[in-house]
Amino acid sequence: MFKVILGIICGLMVCAILDANTFSEDYYLMLSSDAFNRGDFKGAKDGYLTLYEETKNIAYAKEAALSAANMGDMQTAAKLALLYQNVTKNTKDLPTSKILADSYIRMGDIKKAISLLESIKKEEDSLPVDNVLGTLYLSEKNFDKAFGLLDNVYNQTHDEEALSKILMIYLAKNDKPAATGLLKSHLEKYGCSKDLCQKSFDAFVRLNDLSDAQEVFQMIYNKSPTIENARYLIRILAYQKKYKQAQEIAQTFPLNRHLLLELYVAQKEFSAASKQASLIYKEQKNPKYLALEAIYLYQSMETPKKQTIEEIIKKLEHSLSERQKEIVSIKENLNSQDAFFYNFLGYMLIDYNLDVKKGIHYVKIALEVDPGSVSYVDSLAWGYYKLGKCIEAKKIFATIPKEQIEIETELKSHFDSINSCTK
């Protein structure tokens, strides 16, 4: 409250001073200092600039630079910091040097920023300086210098960002044992945020170290048996085909059907996956799960019957209709998953000769979302082939890379049929 009152009083003083066409250095200094302390950095910057213009005291230019930096006006801050150093010839002044270093980084002049930060480090050996300088060394692929600084930051703070940077260095140097060892040690001692858990999971899979991953995520789950931690452990177990263990964990969360759904899909138990997706849809009314129910039902059948095919198509059309209402309601666009559903429905209508023209319409919607999808291009070409439009089918299919046609059985089959079409 006192600061607010003081601000009002000071504001009135400024008016009085301006009305009298006089300049009082003491008043302006008091006002500018108070504005800075209250977090009014624009007011502080303007006040110190006035002080500098009236007195030519370069110390005020420095204070204006610091105020500008605090309000995020780095362009003004850098100009004033450079002015201060040029006038005083004091290129080792830490506050203005830090402003200039930040300015060089923003401009992308990394070498200049590194040179200046190396000078700053000689005057101020601190963790923030180590972190910024180490990160710049890392960006320049000077891994040895980067490691020394970032390792010091990590050892004193156990910061996840510093950990990620050290892991990047280990992986860049192809030192996988050191990377997995550090990651495992950190997770065992300090656990992980949601972001680090996901990155750690991805790293263990990429490094093919599933044994250590299981040990670590089992420990994390034991300490905190949440659904999110269960999901990581289940996925690791599923990668190793330890489905029984994974299912035991999933079943401890009977109200969260997503865990079981993911597990059934991993095991290719599509009949069970379809039933699970159906239960989720009934509980949440999310059209995505109605579409998944239909798709998993199709994948579970060895020889699909016409009646079942028609049932699947009806479910897919209903799910897309519900999804369209949802999109209008929340004002978003179709995404890649929507495109997958549209293509799946379209291809079924085409391949089973149920309504080829409607199937082509659905496939075109999928291609609007993902025009580079080979699967969707194949569906479209197959649709025109089914209509007997061979020239159009050939033209569309010709956009698929030949090497991809050779490695995918269905593409090769469609290529042969379309290529021999003479209608």
pLDDT digits (tens, 9 = 90+) for 215-245: 999 999 998 898 889 989 998 998 898 988 9
| Cβ contacts of 1 within 8 Å, gap of 6 or more | none
What percentage of the chain reaches a pLDDT higher than 90?
A: 69
Q: Is the pLDDT of residue 14 over 80?
A: no
Amino acid (1-letter code) at residue 257: R
Q: Which long-range contacts (CB under 8 A, 24 or more apart) does 290-299 make?
A: 290/315, 290/318, 290/319, 290/322, 291/315, 291/316, 291/319, 291/320, 291/323, 291/341, 291/344, 292/261, 294/319, 295/341, 295/344, 296/265, 296/270, 296/271, 297/270, 297/271, 298/348, 299/270
How far apart are the C-alpha atoms of 182 and 216, rounded to whole Å?
12
For residue 237, the 8-state DSSP code is H
Least Cα distance to 374 among 348, 410, 349, 416 occurs for: 410
Q: Mind listing the domains of the chain with CATH numbers?
A: 1-119 (1.25.40.10), 347-423 (1.25.40)
For tokens 């999808």, the residue is: 373
Q: What is the model's pLDDT at position 15?
A: 44
Rounded CA separation 8/5 (Å):
5
Residue 9 has pLDDT above 50, yes or no: no
Instruction: Supply 358's token pair.
Output: 């409607």
At 49 the pLDDT is 94
Convert the pLDDT of each residue in 131-173 to its tens digit.
999 999 999 999 999 999 999 999 999 999 999 999 999 989 9
Closest by CA position to 209, among listed 187, 188, 167, 181: 181
pLDDT at 10 over 90: no
Tens-place pLDDT, residues 270-320: 999 999 999 999 999 999 999 999 999 999 998 878 889 999 999 999 999
Residue 16 predicted with pLDDT over 60: no
For residues 224 and 16, which has the higher predicted lDDT (pLDDT)? 224
pLDDT tens string 24-75: 898 889 999 999 999 999 999 999 999 999 999 999 999 999 999 999 899 9
pLDDT at 23 over 80: no
pLDDT at residue 119 greater than cutoff 50: yes
